[in-house]
Amino acid sequence: MADYTAKRETGDGAESEPVSHRVKRTKADDGAGRKDAGKEPECTNILQGFKTSRVLSDSAREKNIFIHGKLADEEAVVILEKTPIREDTLADLLSASVLKLEMKNDIYSTYRLQAPPQFNEIKTTVVCPATEKHVKKYQRQESFLVEETGEDYQSITLPYLQQHNFSVQWVYNILEKKAEADRIVYEDPDPNVGFVLLPDFKWDQKQVDDLYLIAIAHCRDIKSLRDLKSEHLPLLKNIFQKGKEAIMQRYHIPANKLRVYLHYQPSYYHLHVHFTKLGYEAPGCSVERAHLLSDVIQNLQCDPQYYRTRTLYFPLKAEDGLLREFKETGRL
């Protein structure tokens, strides 16, 4: 509902694969569910038949582009993102590339560097079949900050969510090991306080500077921050502690270098917690959307009904259906 980028990406570790595009088929993270939990054959270019309709948005700073079109007569959104330059490949990159001089002036010179294919990957995310909601999600739109009271949630937001019945079947596939079981970094199987920890699709897992993992709770009756009560403190503390320990053991990043938070509004309505490396400006980590898990725990310790009653703020795009509901009821 509120995020602008693809939520998760599978990292396959194919660092020296001699192709310039890695194509991944991703989940519909805002409620459409995953049609196919399996991976595409790595050598198959499913984009050969892609027909471009329009560019939804692009960013020179983020070095990505979002494209709407058709794939095998089905609506699709394709996201192309330049991959980060990795420190461990610098020596080979600099020695094997071709430089073309553009300008030289005293001590300054600029070049166009043509890198070998293995250093010139473009991370590619495919959402297919894409719904109108996906198209709007990735389209460049003006955003508005919504002020939602506890009463607004009950009378506007919750009925909207119930009416649209956003599916999280892809989440259940992960929890039940029907999909992505090989990507799970850590699991606590306890049905009440347990969770699975796995890489977010935005992280290619080739460097830890942009580390991004998601902890998905086994408990299925918590949609978002609004549902949390003091009775959920054991679950939240368990995710907080064991998630940090698992990341330290696997990636050697201490807790004081992690940002651990929840989104409100979330992009899908099943309790999940974001773990990112401090210093990495992950999409959605801004103050109007991210809530530090440590703060959430403390707030619930002070007031068991804190998130049931307090006013929360979050951004919505101009064409978001929930924004329309707030406008029609005179709350915006």
Instruction: Give residue-wise pLDDT tens across range 322-332.
Output: 999 999 998 88
Q: How confident is the model at residue 43 (pLDDT cuts 50, 70, 90)?
A: low
Residue 132 has pLDDT above 90, yes or no: no
On whether both 115 and 152 belong to a single domain, the answer is no
On whether both 186 and 309 belong to a single domain, the answer is yes
On whether both 194 and 114 belong to a single domain, the answer is no
Tokens of 180: 């992505």
Number of structural domains found in the chain: 2
Instruction: Identify the active-site residue in 252, 272, 274, 291.
Output: 272
**Which pLDDT belongs to residue 83?**
83
Buried b (16+ CB within 10 A) or exposed e, 214-225: bbbbbbeebbbb
Q: How confident is the model at residue 142 (pLDDT cuts 50, 70, 90)?
A: confident
Query: Residue 209: how many CB atoms within 10 A of its CB?
Result: 11
Residue 217: inside a domain: yes
Helix (H) or strand (E) holding 195: strand 195-199
pLDDT greater at residue 2 or residue 120 = 120
**Which pLDDT belongs to residue 237?**
98
Domain boundary among 67, 97, 127: 127
Residue 26 has pLDDT above 90, yes or no: no
On whether both 100 and 241 belong to a single domain, the answer is no
Q: Specify whether 218 is catalytic.
A: no
Domain that holds residue 47: 21-127
Q: Rounded CA gap, 317 and 67, in Å?
A: 18
Kindly report the pTM of this predicted structure.
0.69
On whether both 319 and 185 belong to a single domain, the answer is yes
Residue 14: inside a domain: no
On whether both 68 and 168 belong to a single domain, the answer is no
**Which pLDDT belongs to residue 100?**
92
What's 36's domain CATH number?
Answer: 3.30.200.40
Query: What is the distance of C-alpha 71 from the center of its chain?
Result: 23
pLDDT greater at residue 38 or residue 284 = 284
User: What mean pLDDT is predicted for residues 152-171?
Assistant: 91
Domain boundary among 127, 151, 166: 127
Tokens of 89: 């490949």
On whether both 315 and 168 belong to a single domain, the answer is yes
Q: How confident is the model at residue 15 (pLDDT cuts 50, 70, 90)?
A: very low
Q: Rounded CA gap, 119 and 67, in Å?
A: 23
Residue 39 has pLDDT above 90, yes or no: no
Domain boundary among 102, 127, 152: 127
Q: How confident is the model at residue 44 (pLDDT cuts 50, 70, 90)?
A: confident
**Which pLDDT belongs to residue 332?**
80
Residue 139 has pLDDT above 90, yes or no: no
On whether both 75 and 120 belong to a single domain, the answer is yes
Residues in contact with 80: Cβ distance below 8 Å, sequence separation at least 6, in sequence order:
64, 65, 67, 122, 123, 124
Give the mean pLDDT of the chain.
Answer: 85
On whether both 120 and 162 belong to a single domain, the answer is no
Helix (H, G, I), strand (E, B) or coil at 91: helix
Q: Rounded CA gap, 60 and 76, in Å?
A: 22
Residue 78: inside a domain: yes
What's 202's domain CATH number?
Answer: 3.30.428.10
User: What mean pLDDT is predicted for residues 123-148?
Assistant: 85
On whether both 321 and 183 belong to a single domain, the answer is yes
Q: Rounded CA gap, 221 and 236, in Å?
A: 14
User: What mean pLDDT is predicted for residues 139-164?
Assistant: 92
Residue 29: inside a domain: yes
**Which pLDDT belongs to residue 324?**
92
Instruction: Give residue-wise pLDDT tens across range 226-276.
Output: 999 999 999 999 999 999 999 999 999 999 999 999 999 998 999 999 999
**Which pLDDT belongs to residue 251?**
96
User: What mean pLDDT is predicted for residues 220-229?
Assistant: 96
